[in-house]
Amino acid sequence: MSVTAGSPPLDRLKALLAEIADLRHAEFLLDWDSRVSMPRGGADARAQSAATLTRLMHERLVSDEVSGLLEALDGVEEEDDAALVRVARREWERASRVPAELAAEMAHAAGVGVAAWDRAKAASDFDSFAPHLERQLELKHRYIECFPETQTAYDVLLDDYEEGTTTADVLHVFDRLKEELVRLIERRAGDGSPVLHGPFPVEQQQRASRIVLDAFGYDETMWRIDETPHPFASKMGVGDVRLTTHTEEGDLISLFSTMHEFGHGVYEFEIDDAYARSPLGLGTSSAIHESQSRMWENLVGRSPDFWRWFYPQLQPLFPEALGGVEEEAFVRAVNAIRPGPIRGDADEVTYGLHIILRFELEQELLAGTVAVPDLPEVWNARVKEYLGVDVPDDAHGVLQDMHWSIGFFGYFPTYQLGNVVSVQIWERARADLGNLEAQFERGEFGSLREWLRERIYRHGSKYTLRELLTRVTGSELDPEPYLQYLRTKFA
């Protein structure tokens, strides 16, 4: 049937989806609070609240009414409404496979698991966290069983973050990257680039981050930034974007972490307000999201042009640590290929191997070829094999990331896919905008942000990853521009 805008079925579907979006925003707020300001003792109660919200959202989404409305709207023609129905139908189809109680159990396990991860990481004690990881794997297997026709178990989890992307697709890209990344590391690791030594006082680092955020377009009436053990960004609704970072005196990682989370935040912030309280009001895929965080962190934030503007402002903030460090030496230091055990601290080249390692281990954990009690030993051996470094303890090894504690299996590959996509988009932006380097030297980032808003951000989830990438760059997912970028930068 043909359905036009303003029709009763369409209006009713939008109203139901708006209620679900409101519940999701409440869930985001609970999650943000649990990571930023909730006392540790509140974890169990918070997990119960999250489970209840998840069950309510799930029941509303899979209701007979939503199913009937989606069927009635099969022929909707207006572009935005057709996109809304497509995304809502995909969410309904996936959710309808999963019992509401399982969805609630997964939410509860995430709330309890991340609190256990906090404690385990602080004590560098994997054994205390192992039961929570085993619980997550049990729940993931039950979730995967809801999709029996999917080609591989990992495809089910990956599709939650990258619609239509398969494990085989990721392997095709990662196999190509792996051989090149290893060669680059062999040629350039230990090339004599200087090492920066602190201390870098936390308050001064926070001042530095705000200078950068203000230049990027941070608006304190609609944004905020807080400290947390594991940085993230979230959007509670229109005009409410929350960034987090983690600052330590021994390094300047928080500055890059802040730029990374800004990339996530600005994507969500610039989505067209017309898509608010609907499935279109979110980023289209994790890889596109990560392409933006990695673009602002690396392609902008590690560029010499950026530092020609910012280093004269950063250096006076740390006279003891940076007073004798020339700009060129500083830029070499923050771009050096320097293998280490921590993903979040990794340079642009070794970062990819950190992701490939996790991608492999996730599949092995799901297949049972790596048992949970053996994971630290396997992890440490794989880090030594791929990166040539020793892992000092669990906190710097298998416990460094929070993702598995909250059930984010299938997410890690999107970081590296995001790196690939970031360069494809970057090349198109440079072709369209001309001399971005000169703009960055003047501390001007508005034209890049506006270009990204117009071509990517404002569309929310209107297009799939493939559709959006083709519209912006004219090509499919292609690792070659990313590899050429790395070869040129680290030649």
CATH of the domain at 394: 1.10.1370.30
In this structure, are 213 and 173 located in the same domain? yes
Does residue 49 belong to any structural domain of this protein? yes
Within a domain: residue 276? yes
Q: How many CB atoms lie within 10 A of CB 335?
A: 19
Instruction: Give the count of domains, the chain.
Output: 2
Co-location of 423 and 277 in the same domain = yes
The percentage of the chain sitting over the pLDDT mark of 70, rounded to a whole number, equals 98
Task: Report which residue type is found at 18.
Answer: A
Last residue of a domain, one of 117, 149, 181: 149
- Proportion of the chain above pLDDT 90, given as a percent: 93
Work out the average pLDDT over 404-423: 98
Confidence of residue 1 (pLDDT cuts 50, 70, 90): very low
Separation in Å, CA 48 to CA 37, 44, 102, 112, 305 = 18, 6, 13, 9, 49
> Same domain, yes or no, for 51 and 185?
no
* pLDDT at site 193: 81
- 209 and 137 in a single domain? The answer is no
Same domain, 304 and 449: yes
Where does the pLDDT of residue 151 fall: very low under 50, low under 70, confident under 90, or very high at 90 and above?
confident
For position 491, what pLDDT does the model report? 76
pTM: 0.95
The answer to whether residues 182 and 65 belong to one domain is no
Residue 199: is its pLDDT beyond 50? Answer: yes
Q: Coil, strand or helix: which one is 367?
A: helix
330-373 pLDDT tens trace = 999 999 999 999 999 999 999 999 999 999 999 999 999 999 99
Residue 378 domain flag: yes
In a domain, 160, yes or no: no
Say if 159 falls within a structural domain: no
Residues 360 and 417 in one domain: yes
263 within a domain of the structure (yes/no) = yes
| Same domain for 462 and 353 | yes
Rounded to an integer, what distance in angstroms lies between the CA atom of residue 33 and that of residue 47? 12
**Is 157 among the domain residues?**
no
pLDDT in tens, 287-343: 999 999 999 999 999 999 999 999 999 999 999 999 999 999 999 999 999 999 999
**121 has pLDDT over 50:** yes
Q: Answer whether residue 161 is part of any domain.
A: no
Whole-angstrom distance, CA of residue 119 vs CA of residue 325: 38
pLDDT in the model for residue 5: 56
Q: Is 246 found in the same domain as 173? A: yes
Model confidence at 225, pLDDT cuts 50, 70, 90, reads: very high
The domain of 427 spans: 167-489
- Reply yes or no on whether 261 is catalytic: yes
Q: Are residues 95 and 214 in the same domain?
A: no
Q: What is residue 93's predicted lDDT score, i.e. its pLDDT? A: 96
Q: Name the active-site residue from 27, 105, 162, 261.
A: 261
What is the model's pLDDT at position 190? Answer: 61
Q: What is the rounded CA–CA span in Å between residue 160 and residue 180?
A: 29
Read off the tokens for 95: 């959710």
CA distance 278 to 64: 19
Say if residue 180 is in the same domain as residue 134: no
Model pLDDT, residue 89: 97
- Do 96 and 223 lie in one domain? The reply is no
